[in-house]
A and B are shown apart, each in its own frame.
Chain A
Amino acid sequence: GENVEQHPSTLSVQEGDSAVIKCTYSDSASNYFPWYKQELGKRPQLIIDIRSNVGEKKDQRIAVTLNKTAKHFSLHITETQPEDSAVYFCAANSGYALNFGKGTSLLVTP
């Protein structure tokens, strides 16, 4: 499938700090960019998404930004809490399917 690159692979922050995860995609036809959170042993769950007709979307402590020209999008988590610790995946659609980045393991230490 089309390529989605995600960085960093691991991220450790202190509680209350911000965390930023960045992704790039290769399919210029992609128009939907969701982010999933996966806790240990659980299924990936959608936390926020953005469509190509907007550049930014915010939901409480999380926000996503999209730069279609540069083909990159980012997840921002502010005021991090220990319960934010999980693996986060970005994705971009290719037709009706989603191609995922390899994930970022976020650790929030108290």
Chain B
Amino acid sequence: DAGVIQSPRHEVTEMGQEVTLRCKPISGHNSLFWYRQTMMRGLELLIYFNNNVPIDDSGMPEDRFSAKMPNASFSTLKIQPSEPRDSAVYFCASSLRTVFGYTFGSGTRLTVV
């Protein structure tokens, strides 16, 4: 099992550009979560999906952020347009039906200049 796979590992982009982060959950897991980690705010839950359906997106900071899960093996988090305050590490995690066995990916370190 390759675990939760995120890409890219690092992304540097200019303010105003569109950024797309990608996640492949563990095969068979049907819950997927996107988190943002910063020194000031810690690990913030942005959105989570159950069986590819968004369940709670109350953590998405604003309309510039959107997330999709077109199938059970792929999800994207998009920021358009990006701003310097979006700089953070974005983690994806997946689990099987419940919070037990919650596993994180390696994260994407995003820098917006």
Contact = CB atoms under 8 A, between A and B. Distances in A.
A43 B102 contact: no
A102 interface: yes
SS class of chain A's interface: helix, strand, loop or mixed?
strand
Interface in B50-66: 50, 55-56, 58-59
Contacts of A32: 98-100
A59 to B, nearest CB: 16
A1 B59 CA distance: 7
Contacts, number: 54
Contacts of B41: 102
A80 interface: no
Given A43-B91, A43-B105, A43-B107, A97 B99 contact: yes
A65 B33 CA distance: 27
A101 B42 contact: yes
Given A1-B45, A98-B33, A101-B42, 10 more contacts: A1-B59, A32-B98, A32-B100, A34-B99, A34-B102, A43-B105, A43-B107, A97-B56, A98-B102, A102-B41
Interface of A: 1, 32, 34, 42-46, 49, 89, 93, 95-103
